[in-house]
Amino acid sequence: MRYTIIGNDLLSARKVSVLSLGAMRFGTTTDEATSFAILDRYVAAGGNFIDTSNNYLFFVNGTQGGESEALLGRWRASRGVSDEIVIATKAGARPIVPATGFDTPREGLSRAAIREASERSRERLGVERIDRYYAHVPDQTGAPLDEQVAAFGDLVADGLVGLLGLSNHWAWQVERARGIAAAAGTARADVLQYHHTYLRMRTDIPDLRFSPDGEIGVADGSILSYLRAEPSLTLVAYSPLLNGAYTRPDKQLDRAYDHPGTRARLQRLDQVMRETGATANQVVLAWLIGGELPIVPLIGASSVAQLDESDDHWGEDDNASRYDAYARETSRDLIALALPSDDAGVADAAVLDLACGTGATTGEILSMLGSDGRVTAVDKSAAMLGVAAKSTADPRVTWILARAESVDQHVTEPVDAVICNSAIWQTDFAATTTAVRAVMKPGSVFAFNVPVGFLGDADSHWPDDSDPPLLNEMRAISDRDYGWAPEDRAPRLIRQRLTRKSICRVLVAAGYDVEQVADVTHQDSAASQRAWPSIPIFTRDRLAGLAYEDRMRVLEKAYESLGPGPAKQARWVTFAARSSPLMTSDRRRPQDWLTPDS
C-alpha cells in the first residue's frame, strides 16, 4: 500500500493510504460480520483511511442514520484500534426525524447543530477526537457561512477534531469558507470530497434536492481547477467505480453520462485494458491515483472479493520485491551493452530507462553513474511508477508517466543511452523505435531484450508463468481447499509478430545500426523461479477470484506438494543498436517490415 499526506498544518497533517474505504452501507445493507471482514482485510493490506457519516444509512430502515458510525465503533473496540486508523465522518445531512426519503429537513450547519452532531458522532465511534470532519452538504437552515466556519474552527481549537473538510459544496462556497477561516485565523478545510471518476458527468441537470442550477456534488471543472490552484488541498473522490457500472452490464450509467465524451473515454479505457491486462476498475483507480492532481479514491465494497479486485494496489510492495528479483539479473546484460564500464563518459551519462517498471533496472543504472549522471525513467503504469519512485528515491532520477511509443513527446533533452529491460514486446515496437530514436544522441546505444519464447511463429503465445505441473497443482488445491476452481482462460496472443530478422529490419529503417543480436542464458535460482508466479498481478490471472493471501497459500502448498523442481535455464535474446548519424536510404515505414514473410 502506498500513502499520501492530507492536511496543510504540520501538527495535524496525517499520513493516509492512497485508497480510502467507504463504510456507508456497513451496519445496514452490509451485515456486521461481512463489514468486520472487509475492514480487517483493508487494514491488513495497509489501508488506514475510512470514511463514514452521521446519516449513514438512514433511508434503509427509516432511521436518522448513525448505523455505520456505531458499527465502526464496535469494530474499533473489538480490534483494539487506536489512532493508527484515520476515520472521517460528516455532519449537516442527518434528517431531524426518522426518514426513508430525502425530503425530510436536515440538521443543517448552525453552531449548535455542528457541536451536537460532533458529540454524538464521537460517542458512536468511541473516540475522543474525530480525525477528519466534513461539512457534508451546504446548510439549508439559514445558518450564516461565517457561523459555520467558526463552529468547525472551534472544534479544532478545542481538540475535538483534527482536520476539516468540505463535501458537495459549490466552488464559490469552498473559496468563501476558506477565505473566512484564513481571515479569522481559524482552521480551514484542507480536503474536499466530491464524486469523481474517469468518465466526466454532465453537471447542468438540476438537482431537486439542492439546487436548480445543476448537480452540486460532482468535481467539475471549477472544482478541479480550484484544486490545481491550491496544491495544499486533496480531493477524496467518492463513487470512482460508478457502483460497478464499469464492469457489470446490468449496471446502467446515469443519464448525466449520456454524451459523446463518454463513448470516446470508454473506447480509450477498453484499449488500455487490452494493452495492460488489467480490469476496468483497476485502470480507473490507477488513473485517479497517478494523475497530476492529489486524489484519493474512496471505494465501497460489500464483500472481501470486491475489495480484492484492486489487489495490484494492495500488493505493490510485494510486486516490487518479487519483480525486482526477476528483473535485476536481466538488466545487467543491457547495461553492459549501453554503458560499457571502460567508457570514460559513463559517469556523466544521461540514460533513458524505458518501461522502468518497479525501478529495478533504474537502480542498477544509477550504480554505474556518477553524481552528474542522470536517469529518465518512463513507464505507462502509474501504480508501478509510484512503487519505483518510492523504492528509488534519488535526485538523479526524473520519473515520467508515459507510453514508450510517445516518449519523444516527454523527454526534452537528448540521452546517451536507452535501456528497455523485459518490456519491449509489450509496446508497438515500430512506433517505439521511432520515438526512441528521436531522443537519442547520434552514436548512442539502444539496448533491449526479448525472451526466446516471445520470438517465432505468428501464433506464438505468451509463455506460461509457471510449469504446467505447478499450475495444475495450484488449480487442484484451490478447488479442494476453497471449493472453487479457477476458470480456464485462453492464452493471450502476442499482438505483433517479432522475429530476430524483423526486429533488425525495423531498427535499420528507423535509423539505427544493429551492432549485436545475441542469445543469453541465465540460471534461474529457486528464488527467481518462485518470484515470477507469486507476483500479485500475475497470480490474479492464474487464480482469478481468490484473495491475494489465499493465492499465496495455494502457491506455497503447490510447491510443498511437488517438491523442488529442476534447475532452469532462462533464455533471452539481447539487441544493441546504435543511433546512426545518417538515416537509412530505405524510406519504407518501420511498420512495413513486420510482414508475414519476416
Question: 429-450: per-residue pLDDT in tens?
Answer: 999 999 999 999 999 999 999 9
Angle of helix 111-125 versus helix 145-157 axis, rounded to 10: 40
What confidence score (pLDDT) does residue 311 get?
47
Residue 472, pLDDT above cutoff 60: yes
> How many angstroms separate the CA atoms of 15 and 150, rounded?
26
pLDDT attached to residue 498 = 82
* pLDDT(266) > 60: yes
Band (pLDDT 50/70/90 cuts) for residue 86 is very high
pLDDT value for 487: 53
Does 274 score more than 80 pLDDT?
no
Nearest by Cα to 495 from 361, 360, 594, 395? 594
Residue 248: how many other CB atoms lie within 10 Å: 11
Residue 109 confidence (pLDDT) above 80: yes
pLDDT tens digits, one per residue of 53-76:
999 999 999 999 999 999 999 999
Residue 518: pLDDT band with limits 50, 70, 90: very high
pLDDT confidence of residue 468: 64
d(CA 323, CA 436): 25
Q: Which CATH architecture has domain 317-581?
A: 3-Layer(aba) Sandwich (3.40)
Q: How far apart are CA 351 and CA 353, in angstroms?
A: 6
CATH number of 3-309, picked from 3.30.365.10, 3.20.20.100, 3.40.30.10, 3.40.50.2300? 3.20.20.100
Q: Is the pLDDT of residue 471 over 60?
A: yes
pLDDT at position 310, please? 57
- The cell for 215 is 448537480
Domain positions in the chain are 3-309, 317-581
Q: What is the mean pLDDT of the chain?
A: 84
Grid cell, residue 390, equals: 518510492
pLDDT higher than threshold 60 for residue 384: yes
CA torsion, ordered 550, 554, 557, 561, to nearest 10 deg:
170
Task: Give the amino acid at 215.
Answer: E
Residue 297: CB partners within 8 Å, gap ≥ 6?
Answer: 18, 19, 20, 237, 240, 285, 288, 289
Average pLDDT over residues 109-117: 98
The grid coordinates listed for 95 are 434528517
DSSP state of 394: -
Higher confidence at residue 378 or residue 358?
378
Phi/psi for 258 (5° steps) reads: -85, 80
Structure confidence at residue 326 (pLDDT) = 61
Residue 459 gets which letter from DSSP?
A: T
CA separation for the pair 53, 24 (Å, rounded): 7
- Least confident interval from 144-148, 218-222, 327-331, 456-460: 456-460
**Is residue 453 within 8 Å of 463, Cβ to Cβ?**
yes
Nearest to 547 by CA among 489, 502, 481, 490: 481
CA distance 477 to 178: 57
Alpha carbon distance, N-terminus to C-terminus of the chain: 45
Cα–Cα distance measured from residue 299 to residue 22, given in angstroms and rounded to the nearest whole number: 6
